[in-house]
Amino acid sequence: MKIHEYIGVIVKRTDLKLNSYYQKVVNPFNITIDQWMILVVLWDEEGLTQNELAERTFKDKTNIARMLFTMEERGFIHRVTDKKDRRSLHVYLTEKGRQLKDEVLPPSIEAYEKTIAGLTEEEVKQFRKTLNIIYENVKNL
């Protein structure tokens, strides 16, 4: 098999280009792709713990803590200590973090649409399914 035929190589090549493109999309808002991922999760559901955010964004807990510290300094989020477990912090958006949604989502959706141009809705669904199967195959190897 040629190098360009390996699925891992294709996925990695695509991931690099997607990250580069999406970073260009969020640069005007002075956030990173990783911060964007956290914001998207919080726009859907606030009050998650740092551990829950790490799981949902597929990031390690140390990096999430670091990113949240930066986001808190920039006024996008605030963290509240759990009353029952003082080691646990729940993450909430600030008004600034909520307002960012209206600015960031339209170009994000436009970028997503550009990345799936030429594919039918069914092809996109099948692609997601295929990638998830591959992920499940390798996640515990």
Tens-digit pLDDT profile for residues 31-45: 999 999 999 999 999
Residue 25 lies in domain: 3-138
Backbone region of residue 58 per phi and psi (left: phi > 0; alpha: psi in -120 to 50; beta: other values) = left
Please tell me the predicted confidence (pLDDT) of residue 90: 93
Q: What is the pLDDT of residue 82?
A: 75
pLDDT digits (tens, 9 = 90+) for 67-96: 999 999 999 999 998 777 777 789 999 999
Total domains in the chain come to 1
pLDDT value of residue 83: 77
Q: CA 45, CA 50: separation in Å to the nearest integer?
A: 13
pTM as predicted: 0.88
CATH number at residue 120: 1.10.10.10
Is residue 49 scored above 80 in pLDDT?
Answer: yes
More confident call, 88 vs 107: 107
pLDDT for 84: 76
* Mean confidence (pLDDT) of the chain: 94
Give the helix ranges, DSSP H, for 45-94.
Answer: 50-57, 61-73
Q: State what percent of residues in the chain have pLDDT above 70.
A: 100
